[in-house]
């Protein structure tokens, strides 16, 4: 028998075939509803009209000057001009030298790219119509040479095998580039025929143009934004909003780690002037648009037959008594959410925009002038602000300078290659030291090898050990391969600042030898590397080096070698101990 307390399906049973009364959502007591509206004051309206037209007027100035590297306070200089159409700002700031593009790199550095560049030159030369084949002459004059000794510094097993394959058989693009830097026609044996000199010159010119556009890299004389002591980038850009000499906006990034460049990566610094001219002043832009109500997920839908977005349930939020920001958010979204309007403004990227005025026309035809936040004519200049550039300076009334919108020229979706070098900066509280741990090292073939395996044959200063039995007492224990100590030093005796200087360790296993840094991220081992102590917190830091490629808005492809700094993985322990006794 079926139960009266369970069912398998529910079906509506309308009493009539017309569904109009249900759809009408009729109110049965309108007088009661009108009385409640009168009690809560909903009839005390201000006769405010709905905005229908908004006329925005602003000053738009493109970035026109730049300086790579840190600048002290009070700097006034005539900086180089910035043209974002020639090179993206991220590539200009982050790019590092690439070995295949510079003729001063010799030996095994950039060997694979040098061979591939030489192969491309032979293809360019073969495309020219010459009476004689000069392939053999170029191969003989600019062949890959085997360095001396047989196992050169910085070589691993894969590099040595590759060197055996290409030595004397492939053309070295580095040697050819160095030759073409001094003359337009290489000195060959036999020389180039007079009838073919124009074609060979054209091939060399096309190949040089190709190598110059292959990578975006700075020249040896250009300054770089990468600060090796802080493992960060530093740069400044500027724009002029008007003809007033004091109306220059200088944006400074003192601690840019690399990677994601956005508006919050820079701060406004009025203490630095990059020498923008009145001809670079921004232009006035006026746009007339239709305001649209600002909608927020989770608030009640304005229409009756509209389902609310279920991604955000405001009713499920349970703020505590001390969670004032959440209470304010709920009040603004539920009570005043329909009071906000949005106007779309089209602005070019790579610009700084200052709002001059906003005129709103409502449904009654009344025009209202709205001044930007921070306007001197406003009684309350604090106002509401969002996406404001941080600045250590204030205006004459002590208020922040907030009327500026920076649209950074960020590259969308760049392609990143694998990390060729990786250095971990970590604290070791047990040993009371900091360490630069070389986790990955770049081989001459631009491939990452394990830094702990000691795969690369770098030159190491050996110390002769004395004959005799191994003593039972050890002053210090050995540390893992690739761990470079950072020792605290005081650079200035008059200053309390402490910096971490690069040191070296003495390998006590077998023949004693001094082990120092090998990664290019740490620079030349013979140079000074003084890292400020605050740059290595307890969480540590990771610095990587890799290739990055991206296309600009015009579709041009840019490839550059870059460094990036990110948060580490915490403290590390090297196992270093002092004054130990070995077992018998």
Instruction: Examine residue 450 and state whether it is found in any structural domain, yes or no.
Output: yes
Q: How many CB atoms lie within 10 A of CB 416?
A: 14
Q: CA nearest 172: which of 211, 198, 200, 201?
A: 211
pLDDT over threshold 50, residue 396 = no
Instruction: Examine residue 89 and state whether it is found in any structural domain, yes or no.
Output: no
Instruction: Examine residue 63 and state whether it is found in any structural domain, yes or no.
Output: yes
Residue 545 sits in the same domain as residue 450: yes
Question: What sign has the CA pseudo-torsion 88, 543, 448, 217?
Answer: positive
Q: CA nearest 277: which of 251, 247, 252?
A: 247
Q: CA nearest 486: which of 438, 531, 445?
A: 531
Tally of structural domains, the chain? 4
Residue 251: Cβ-neighbour burial (10 angstroms; 0-12, 13-18, 19+): buried
Six-digit token string for 105: 């790199």
Long-range contacts of 469-474 (CB under 8 A, 24+ apart): 470/582, 471/582, 472/581, 472/582, 472/584, 473/579, 473/580, 473/581, 473/582, 474/508, 474/579, 474/580, 474/581, 474/582
C-alpha–C-alpha distance, residues 176 and 142, integer Å: 6
Phi-psi region of 422 (alpha: psi -120 to 50; beta: other; left: phi over 0): beta
Residue 209 sits in the same domain as residue 71: no
Share of the chain above pLDDT 90, in %: 26
Instruction: Examine residue 483 and state whether it is found in any structural domain, yes or no.
Output: yes
Residue 308 sits in the same domain as residue 250: no
DSSP string computed for 404-439: -EEE--PPSS-EE---SEEEEEEEETTTTEEEEEEE
Instruction: Examine residue 484 and state whether it is found in any structural domain, yes or no.
Output: yes
Question: What sign has the CA pseudo-torsion 253, 256, 258, 260?
Answer: negative
**Model confidence pTM above 0.85:** no
> Which element (helix H / strand E) includes 213?
helix 197-214
Backbone angles phi, psi at 114, to 5 degrees: -65, -40
C-alpha–C-alpha distance, residues 50 and 506, integer Å: 78
Q: How many residues does the chain have?
A: 584
C-alpha–C-alpha distance, residues 232 and 219, integer Å: 20
- Residue 101's pLDDT band (cuts 50, 70, 90): very low
C-alpha–C-alpha distance, residues 77 and 237, integer Å: 12
Q: Encode pLDDT of 425-458 as tens digits.
A: 999 888 888 999 999 988 888 888 887 665 555 5
Report which of residues 491 and 351 the model is more confident about.
Answer: 351
Query: At a CB cut-off of 8 Å and minimum separation 6, what does 187 contact?
Result: 141, 179
Q: How confident is the model at residue 462, as a pLDDT?
A: 44
Range with the lowest mean pLDDT among 91-100, 133-142, 219-228? 91-100
Strand partners, 288: 55
Residue 173 sits in the same domain as residue 255: no
Six-digit token string for 305: 């037959």
- Residue 330's pLDDT band (cuts 50, 70, 90): confident
Instruction: Examine residue 5 and state whether it is found in any structural domain, yes or no.
Output: no
pLDDT over threshold 90, residue 516 = no
Six-digit token string for 213: 């556009």
Residue 284 sits in the same domain as residue 315: no
Six-digit token string for 318: 């349970």
C-alpha–C-alpha distance, residues 237 and 61, integer Å: 12
Q: How confident is the model at residue 529, as a pLDDT?
A: 87
> What's the whole-number average pLDDT of the chain?
82
C-alpha–C-alpha distance, residues 187 and 180, integer Å: 10
Phi-psi region of 69 (alpha: psi -120 to 50; beta: other; left: phi over 0): left
Residue 537 sits in the same domain as residue 447: yes
Query: At a CB cut-off of 8 Å and minimum separation 6, what does 333 contact?
Result: 296, 298, 299, 314
Residue 562 sits in the same domain as residue 489: yes
Q: Encode pLDDT of 287-312 as tens digits.
A: 999 999 887 777 777 777 777 777 77
C-alpha–C-alpha distance, residues 408 and 345, integer Å: 16
Residue 441 sits in the same domain as residue 323: no
Last residue of a domain, one of 355, 379, 407: 407
Instruction: Examine residue 46 and state whether it is found in any structural domain, yes or no.
Output: no
Last residue of a domain, one of 407, 437, 458: 407
Residue 160 sits in the same domain as residue 193: yes
Residue 363 sits in the same domain as residue 456: no
Range of the domain at 420: 415-581
> Which element (helix H / strand E) includes 238?
strand 232-240
Instruction: Examine residue 43 and state whether it is found in any structural domain, yes or no.
Output: no
C-alpha–C-alpha distance, residues 518 and 452, integer Å: 12
Range with the lowest mean pLDDT among 63-67, 100-104, 123-127, 470-474? 100-104
Report which of residues 383 and 403 the model is more confident about.
Answer: 403
Alpha-carbon distances of 285 from 1, 352, 358, rounded to whole Å: 80, 12, 12
- Asked whether 223 and 68 are in contact (CB, 8 A), the reply is yes
Q: Encode pLDDT of 130-160 as tens digits.
A: 888 899 999 989 998 887 666 566 577 888 8
Range with the lowest mean pLDDT among 287-296, 400-409, 531-540, 567-576? 400-409
Q: How confident is the model at residue 460, as a pLDDT?
A: 46
Residue 190 sits in the same domain as residue 314: no
Alpha-carbon distances of 116 from 100, 419, 443, 498, rounded to whole Å: 10, 21, 16, 47
Last residue of a domain, one of 161, 181, 214: 214
Q: CA triplet 73, 78, 83: central angle to 5 degrees?
A: 110
DSSP state, residue 388: P
C-alpha–C-alpha distance, residues 89 and 91, integer Å: 5
Share of the chain above pLDDT 70, in %: 85
Residue 497 sits in the same domain as residue 554: yes
């Amino acid at each position: 028998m079926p139960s009266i307390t369970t069912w398998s399906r529910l079906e509506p049973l309308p009493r009539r075939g017309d569904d109009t009364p249900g759809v009408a959502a009729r109110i049965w007591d309108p007088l009661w509803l009108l009385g409640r509206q009168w009690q809560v004051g909903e009839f005390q309206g201000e006769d405010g009209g709905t905005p229908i037209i908004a006329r925005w007027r602003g000053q738009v100035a493109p970035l026109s000057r730049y300086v790579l590297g840190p600048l002290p306070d009070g700097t006034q200089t005539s900086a180089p001009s910035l043209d974002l159409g020639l090179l993206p700002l991220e590539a200009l700031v982050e790019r590092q030298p690439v070995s295949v593009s510079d003729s001063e790199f010799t030996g095994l550095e950039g060997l694979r790219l040098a061979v591939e560049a030489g192969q491309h030159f032979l293809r360019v030369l073969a495309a020219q119509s010459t009476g004689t084949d000069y392939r053999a002459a170029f191969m003989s004059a600019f062949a890959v040479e085997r360095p001396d000794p047989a196992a050169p510094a910085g070589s691993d097993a894969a590099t040595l095998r590759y060197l055996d394959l290409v030595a004397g058989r492939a053309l070295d693009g580095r040697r050819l580039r160095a030759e073409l830097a001094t003359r337009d026609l290489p000195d060959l044996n036999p020389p180039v025929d007079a009838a073919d000199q124009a074609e060979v010159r054209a091939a060399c010119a096309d190949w040089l143009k190709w190598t110059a556009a292959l990578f975006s890299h700075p020249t040896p004389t250009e300054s770089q934004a990468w600060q090796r002591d802080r493992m960060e980038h530093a740069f400044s850009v500027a724009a002029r909003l008007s003809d007033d000499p004091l109306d220059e906006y200088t944006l400074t990034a003192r601690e840019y780690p690399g990677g994601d460049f956005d508006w919050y990566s820079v701060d406004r610094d009025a203490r630095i002037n990059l020498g923008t001219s009145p001809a670079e002043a921004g232009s006035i832009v006026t746009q007339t648009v239709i305001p649209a109500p600002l909608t927020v997920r989770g608030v009640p839908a304005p229409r009756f037959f509209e389902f609310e977005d279920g991604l955000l349930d405001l009713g499920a939020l349970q703020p505590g008594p001390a969670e004032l920001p959440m209470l304010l958010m709920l009040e603004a979204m539920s009570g005043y959410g329909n009071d906000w309007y949005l106007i779309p403004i089209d602005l070019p990227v790579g610009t700084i925009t200052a709002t001059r005025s906003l005129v709103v026309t409502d449904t009654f035809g009344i025009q209202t002038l709205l001044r930007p936040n921070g306007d001197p004519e406003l009684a309350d200049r604090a106002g509401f602000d969002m996406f404001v550039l941080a600045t250590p300076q204030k205006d004459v009334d002590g208020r922040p300078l907030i009327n500026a919108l920076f649209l950074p020229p960020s590259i969308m979706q760049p392609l990143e290659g694998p990390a060729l070098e990786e250095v971990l900066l970590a604290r070791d509280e047990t040993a009371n030291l900091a360490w630069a741990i070389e986790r990955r090292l770049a081989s001459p073939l631009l491939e990452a090898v394990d830094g702990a395996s000691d795969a690369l044959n770098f030159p190491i200063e050996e110390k002769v050990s004395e004959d005799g039995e191994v003593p039972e007492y050890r002053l210090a224990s050995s540390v893992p391969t690739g761990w470079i100590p950072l020792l605290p030093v005081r650079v200035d005796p008059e200053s309390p600042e402490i910096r971490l200087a690069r040191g070296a360790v003495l390998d006590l296993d077998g023949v004693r030898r001094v082990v120092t840094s090998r990664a290019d991220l740490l620079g030349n081992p013979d140079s000074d590397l003084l890292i400020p102590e605050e740059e290595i917190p307890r969480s540590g830091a990771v610095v990587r080096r890799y290739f990055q490629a991206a296309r600009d808005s015009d579709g041009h492809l840019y490839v550059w070698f870059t460094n990036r700094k990110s948060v580490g993985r915490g403290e590390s322990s090297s196992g270093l101990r002092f004054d130990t006794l070995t077992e018998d």
